[in-house]
A and B are shown apart, each in its own frame.
Chain A
Amino acid sequence: MTPSLLRPDQPLRLVDTYPPSAPARQAIIRVEDLSIVFDAPSGQVIAVDRVSLAVAQGEFVSIVGPSGCGKSTLLNAMAGLEQPFEGQVLMAGEAMLAPRSEIGMVFQQPHLFPWKSVRRNIAHGPRALGKPKAEALRIADDLIEMIGLTRFASAYPHTLSGGMQQRVAIARALANQPSVLLMDEPFGALDAQTRAVMQDNLLELRERINATIVFVTHDIDEAILLSDRVLIMSAGPGRILKDLQVSLPRPRSSAIVAEAACLALKRDCLDLIRSEGRRAFEQMEIKT
Chain B
Amino acid sequence: MSIGRRSIATATARLSVLVAALSVPAFTGVWELVARSGIVNTVLFPPPSTVAVAVLEWIRSGQFFADLMASLARVAGGFAIGAAGGIVLGILTGRFRLVSSLLSPLFHILRPIPPIAFVPIVILWFGLSETGKLFLVVWGVFFTVWLATHIGVQKVDRGLIRAAQMLGTPQPQMLWEIVLLGALPYITVGLRTAVSISFYTLVAAELAGAFAGIVYRIEIAQQNMQTGQVMGGLAALGLLSFVADRSFAILAERTVWWR
B165, B257, B259: which contacts A99 (Cβ < 8 A)?
B165
- Nearest residue (CB) in B for A113 is B160
User: Is residue A114 within 8 Å, beta carbon to beta carbon, of the partner chain?
Assistant: yes
Residue numbers in A under 8 Å from B170 (CB-CB): 128
Which chain A residues numbered 96 to 120 have a C-beta less than 8 Å away from chain B? 98-101, 103-105, 107, 109, 111-116
- Nearest residue (CB) in A for B256 is A115
Number of interface residues of B (CB under 8 A): 18
Contacts known (A128-B173, A156-B258, A158-B259); A111 close to B167, Cβ less than 8 A? no
Q: Mark B216-259, 1 if CB is under 8 A from A, else 0.
A: 00000000000000000000000000000000000000000111
User: Is residue A125 within 8 Å, beta carbon to beta carbon, of the partner chain?
Assistant: yes
B168 touches A129 (CB 8 A): yes
A81 touches B165 (CB 8 A): yes
A111, A128, A129, A158: which contacts B160 (Cβ < 8 A)?
A111
| Alpha-carbon distance A81/B167, docked complex (angstroms) | 12
B257 touches A115 (CB 8 A): yes
| Alpha-carbon distance A240/B157, docked complex (angstroms) | 31
- Nearest residue (CB) in A for B160 is A111
Which chain B residues numbered 144 to 185 have a C-beta less than 8 Å away from chain A? 157, 159-160, 162-170, 173, 178, 181
- Nearest residue (CB) in B for A175 is B167
A109, A115, A172: which contacts B159 (Cβ < 8 A)?
A109
A-B contact count (CB 8 A): 63
B257 touches A111 (CB 8 A): no
| Alpha-carbon distance A86/B35, docked complex (angstroms) | 84
| Alpha-carbon distance A25/B103, docked complex (angstroms) | 53
A105 touches B169 (CB 8 A): no
DSSP class of B's interface residues: helix, strand, loop or mixed? helix
User: Is residue A239 within 8 Å, beta carbon to beta carbon, of the partner chain?
Assistant: no
User: Is residue A50 within 8 Å, beta carbon to beta carbon, of the partner chain?
Assistant: no
DSSP class of A's interface residues: helix, strand, loop or mixed? loop
A116 to chain B, nearest CB (A): 8
A218 to chain B, nearest CB (A): 19
| Alpha-carbon distance A172/B167, docked complex (angstroms) | 8
Contacts known (A113-B160, A113-B178, A114-B258); A124 close to B166, Cβ less than 8 A? no
A115 touches B168 (CB 8 A): no
| Alpha-carbon distance A101/B181, docked complex (angstroms) | 22
A277 to chain B, nearest CB (A): 28
Contacts known (A109-B159, A158-B258); A99 close to B166, Cβ less than 8 A? yes
| Alpha-carbon distance A157/B166, docked complex (angstroms) | 19
- Nearest residue (CB) in A for B167 is A125
User: Is residue A165 within 8 Å, beta carbon to beta carbon, of the partner chain?
Assistant: no
- Nearest residue (CB) in B for A114 is B258
| Alpha-carbon distance A112/B181, docked complex (angstroms) | 13
Contacts known (A111-B159, A111-B160, A113-B160); A100 close to B257, Cβ less than 8 A? no
Residue numbers in B under 8 Å from A173 (CB-CB): 166-167
User: Is residue A176 within 8 Å, beta carbon to beta carbon, of the partner chain?
Assistant: yes
User: Is residue A143 within 8 Å, beta carbon to beta carbon, of the partner chain?
Assistant: no
B156 to chain A, nearest CB (A): 11
A109, A124, A156: which contacts B167 (Cβ < 8 A)?
A124
B159 touches A105 (CB 8 A): no
Residue numbers in B under 8 Å from A157 (CB-CB): 258
Contacts known (A114-B258, A115-B257, A128-B173); A176 close to B168, Cβ less than 8 A? yes
Can you name 15 extra interface pairs (CB under 8 A) apart from A79-B166, A81-B166, A111-B159?
A: A98-B165, A104-B166, A105-B162, A107-B162, A109-B159, A111-B160, A111-B163, A113-B160, A113-B164, A114-B258, A124-B167, A129-B168, A156-B258, A172-B163, A172-B167
Q: Can you list the 8 inter-chain pairs with the closest CB atoms, starting with the nearest?
A: A101-B168, A111-B159, A125-B167, A111-B163, A105-B166, A128-B169, A99-B165, A115-B258
